[in-house]
Amino acid sequence: MGSLRTQVGIVGAGPAGLLLGHLLHLNGIDSIIVESRSREYVIDRVRAGVLEQGTVDLLMAMGVGAGLERRGLRHDGLFISFRGRRHHIDMADLTGGKAITVYGQNEVVKDLIESRIATTRPLYFDAEHVSFSAVDSSSPIIRFRHGGVDREIHCDFVAGCDGFHGICRPSIPNGVLATYERVYPFGWLGILAEAAPSSDELVYTCHERGFALFSMRSPTITRLYCQVPPDESIDGWSDGAIWEEMLTRMTTSDGWKPNVGRIIQKGVTPMRSFVAAPMRHGRLFLAGDAAHIVPPTGAKGLNLAASDVLVLARAMKAFYERGRSDWLDEYSDVCVRRVWKAQRFSWWMTSTLHRFPDENAFDHQRQIADLDYLTSSRAAMTSLAEQYVGLAPEVSFESAGL
């Protein structure tokens, strides 16, 4: 049995766990990260790609933004497309110069793993049988098996950064958490294709046949999504059928359409909104997808994870440096307010752009009127833009030691 000691035990090496580990490191706070998957699996997992302005600023302030600065694609605007026409929303103009940056989550994670390794602080991949106990005491214990050896980490706090399917949230006793959930009657079929993006900016489309999204990951890789039934099997979609559906939904009357190329990755993702609160139980703090998930339409999941850990790092810094626990006590309330605003925005984007199976002709005409208003009113466009580029951070970077 290997017995280890640290200040903060972090479960999960996704964006939340890795960002928290680095923020703590910058404040001289020790942590051990325990991840159940391999390093390759964690890096190769294709997921989010849109970073809010605040997330970009945070990565830069943390000194982990070199790759982002070199390879991130800054977007000052986006397009909303319906009835065969694209309408431009100039986010930078509407928000005083803010933008989003397209930089794959796998790149963010890869950069953060490299930064973590450079700090020489521990990060265990391929951890088995991860569990913890005594989070209602002042010295919780995380247990796991690694390389055939059973290990125990004695720590002051456990950060549950293990995503929606992790063990941390389900370990909280019944009755402590309130949960709120909406499951949508559709999913997203997503592909990565070897094709140069045919637009410099994202195109969100509401088509008679359903939602579609044009996006990209790099100057040579296009990322496309279209709405499908929630239980759709990807095996039923040939590459030819996928391209036909994507082009039918996205081609506009001025002739714009995505470039076609070899499909290198494809899958179907269900859509769900979920919140569990409070995001704390004793000395266990939940962050990121472990506490909440949003449908990807508003591109908020990764950004919320970053916001949570900034708030948590501030609270832990105050605890270790000044013996203050009031910011730990406020952690959940501060985060949950932002979570609900992101939930509301993601729900609104989803409802405004998707076709619902139970809608009638009235609902669809109202939806088109919504889009018409959105793309012709500066006030409406400003509201979309300020939420899409991201609301101001909940706490200052300085208060988290940056």
| Contact footprint for ligand FAD (CB under 6 A) | 11-17, 34-37, 42, 47-50, 105, 127, 130, 161-163, 166-167, 269, 288-290, 296, 299-303, 305
Which two structure tokens, joined as six digits, stand for 381?
């466009």
Q: What angle do CA 214, 220, 224 make, to 5 degrees?
A: 20
Report, in Å, the least distance between residue 202 CB and ligand FAD: 10
Shortest spacing between CB 362 and ligand FAD, in angstroms? 31
Active site residue 257: no
Question: Which residue, 161 or 172, has its beta carbon nearer to ligand FAD?
Answer: 161
Annotated active-site residue 129? The verdict is no
Catalytic residue, from 22, 25, 75, 207: name it: 75
Read off the tokens for 110: 């890869």
Q: Which of 300, 317, 331, 354 is catalytic?
A: 300
Structure tokens at 92: 């930078």
Of the residues 103, 204, 225, 331, only one is catalytic, namely 204
Structure tokens at 180: 């709120």
For tokens 């942590």, the residue is: 31
To the query of whether residue 320 is one of the catalytic residues in this protein, the response is: no
Nearer to ligand FAD, 105 or 367 (CB): 105
Residue closer to ligand FAD (CB basis): 14 or 72: 14
Phi-psi region for residue 251, left (φ > 0), alpha (ψ -120 to 50) or beta?
beta
DSSP state of 61: H
- Side-chain-side CA neighbours of 124 within 13 Å: the count stands at 26
In which element (H, E) is residue 371 found? Answer: helix 361-374
Task: Mark whether 296 is an active-site residue.
Answer: yes
Catalytically annotated residue among 124, 184, 331, 388: 388
Q: How far is CA 354 from the centre of its chain?
A: 20
Tokens of 254: 């001025």
Task: Locate all alpha helices (DSSP H) within 254-325, ordered by sequence.
Answer: 301-322
Q: What single-letter DSSP state applies at residue 235?
A: G
* Shortest distance (Å) from residue 386 CB to ligand FAD: 17
Shortest CB 50 distance to ligand FAD, Å: 5
Shortest reach from residue 46's CB to ligand FAD, in Å: 7
**Closest CB to ligand FAD among residues 32, 315:** 32
Is 266 labeled as catalytic in the residue annotation? no
Q: What whole-number distance in Å separates Cα of residue 16 and Cα of residue 302?
A: 8
Q: Between 28 and 229, whose beta carbon lies closer to ligand FAD?
A: 229
The residues annotated with a catalytic role in the active site are 75, 204, 296, 300, 388
